[in-house]
Structure 1
Amino acid sequence: MSEQHTPRSLIVTFYGAHGRASSGPVAVAELVRLLAPVGVDAPSVRSSVSRLKRRGLLLPARTPAGAAGYALSPDARQLLEDGDRRIYWPWADRRADEGGWVLAVFSVPEAERNKRHVLRSRLAGLGFGSAAPGVWIAPAHHHEETRHTLERLQLAPYVDLFRGEHLGFAPTAEAVARWWDLASLAKQHEAFLDRHEPVLRAWQARVSTPPDEAYRDHLLALDSWRRLPYADPGLPPHLLPDDWPGARSAEVFRALDERLGEAGRGFVSGAGVG
């Protein structure tokens, strides 16, 4: 297993892709069986599930058959629903949806200064760039998810959100290059392409789609991809370098999802999940 595909990350990816088909819990035994194809052993499943439980994302529950299992908490469902918009909504549509920017301006009392790091970390994790100390910026279409996240983490009292336009003084493309580390983001897209574009080419050369193999390759691609629309918030193309690899990596994921997603879901539902 690569460093990227950690057991905890793969479990979150699994629940996002397959654990919302019904409101019932997923049996621990089924989690163990269905994560084995992507290299997660039983002890890693159990320890990772325990950590997700402590974070309030999974709730212990019994399946209809009486087996021990875990269901998504309401907070986890909101988190995954917000993520759907980033992960599956085509970037071209997202960029064209709303113009302008959302600004998050925060002020934290000195007595609670530990929350400054939490706020910076969470805003960066939502794809915000840093415009100035205490001032973070993202494309306007992320305002709703930002509101949900700050409320869920009880950070909203420290933040004011604004929507507006960039009026200068530097050209917006120059400002964007200061607000985000575009070179680092490009490397993340290139790493995704290096890992998953050959997988797509191999599937395009095949006629059949064995469900077990489709499930494995789709889950791994989704686990890699779902981070990228958070690191890269989907900036307008005219503000990015001409050779920007983001559109290509988005197309590779879309093609893998279209080719493998249905077969992978069939494999999981055949296992009695969902």
Structure 2
Amino acid sequence: MTTTELGGGLDGGGERGPLPPRALIVTLLGLYVREFGGWISVSALIRLMAAAGVDEQAVRSSLSRLKRRGIVEAERHDGVAGYALSDYARQVLELGDRRIFARPEEHSRGWVVVVFSVPESERQKRHALRARLSWLGFGTVSSGVWIAPGHLADDARAVLEADGLQPYVDLFSAQYLAFGDPAEKVAQWWDLAALGQLYAEFVDTHAPTLASWAARDDAPAGHQAFADYVRALTAWRRLPYLDPGLPTDLLPASWSGTTAAETFFALHALLADPAHDFVTAEAGAVRPG
């Protein structure tokens, strides 16, 4: 299994259209199952996913795929069939916590530059490197030179070490000195138009959900709060990885990322607690033993 299958949504959360069941399951594992000891019974997972509109067959099929990828491991507790998060999955989900739930902020204008060279006999490693760097939000200067804002240096180091790719990489801290307009360069290194469209789609899908909950007289509760929150988080969690967190003055004037972040964090504030309460009500089936 690789990091690209988890926090950034490339387990399926990055696909257009309806959210894949496996992406929703990874969100649930990351949100709640770690808290409940890192294991969940199959029956509890089926019930919780039913509340999010996923049928039993889709859950079982998704679990099989996640097991093959090393994200979960089949375990029985007191004779009850279930799944536990792998150690590697826990590690990557912890990294995702910092990235996904951090509000956007302004950072310094420094850069981190990755220079890599992979022998032709190890082309698979070259593909893996490019996938990891894309997942982290790096832009492409040239085939073996990738760049990101300096605040991503620690994440880059951790992910490349976790995947055993550091022998092929040199990591540099840098400043842009000359000979061009940084905003124009950024537009060459990243596809900001495509990222902006993803943000706009997130707003189009989830802003109505936020407005609907905000207009209600009663407090959010129950399976619908859980379903709406899990779906919003599943759609959101890939975006902070695709977005490198560029300084505001280097972004397009009509940047939809700001509105998308406001939408997600408003939904988080409104629905996270009632969604947690709903899952806690299932705690007897979720907890080990």
Query: TM over 0.5, yes or no?
Result: yes
Per the alignment, residue 53 of structure 1 pairs with 67
> Which runs of no fewer than 5 residues in structure 1 stay unpaired?
none
Per the alignment, residue 249 of structure 2 pairs with 238
Per the alignment, residue 253 of structure 1 pairs with 264
- Among 84, 88, 95, which residue is 2:101 paired with? 88
In structure 2, C-alpha distance between the alignment counterparts of 1:259 and 1:207, rounded to whole Å: 13
- Among 124, 143, 162, which residue is 2:134 paired with? 124
- Count of residue pairs the alignment pairs up: 270
Q: Is 1:67 aligned to residue 47 of structure 2?
A: no
Matches within 5 A, 1:131-210: 131-208=141-218, 209-210=220-221
Say which structure, 1 or 2, has more relative contact order (CA 8 Å, 6+ apart): 2
Per the alignment, residue 41 of structure 2 pairs with 27
* Greater shift in the superposed pair: 10-19 or 183-192: 10-19
In structure 2, C-alpha distance between the alignment counterparts of 1:222 and 1:72, rounded to whole Å: 19
RMSD: 1.7
The residue identity in structure 1 corresponding to 2:207 is: E
| 1:26 alignment partner, SS class | strand
Q: Is 1:228 aligned to residue 242 of structure 2?
A: no
Q: Is 1:37 aligned to residue 51 of structure 2?
A: yes
In structure 1, C-alpha distance between the alignment counterparts of 2:128 and 2:192, rounded to whole Å: 23
Identity across the alignment (%): 50
In structure 1, C-alpha distance between the alignment counterparts of 2:118 and 2:232, rounded to whole Å: 38
When the two structures are superposed, what TM-score results if normalisation uses the length of structure 1? 0.93
> Which runs of no fewer than 5 residues in structure 2 stay unpaired?
1-15
* Structure 1 stretches of at least 4 aligned residues deviating more than 4 Å after TM superposition: none
Q: Tell me if structure 2 keeps the 8 A contact 1:4–1:224.
A: no
In structure 1, C-alpha distance between the alignment counterparts of 2:28 and 2:39, rounded to whole Å: 13
Q: Tell me if structure 2 keeps the 8 A contact 1:212–1:264.
A: yes
Q: Is 1:108 aligned to residue 114 of structure 2?
A: no
Q: Residue by residue, what CA displacement relative to the aligned partner does 1:33-52 show, whole Å, maximum 9, x if unpaired?
A: 11112232212212211222
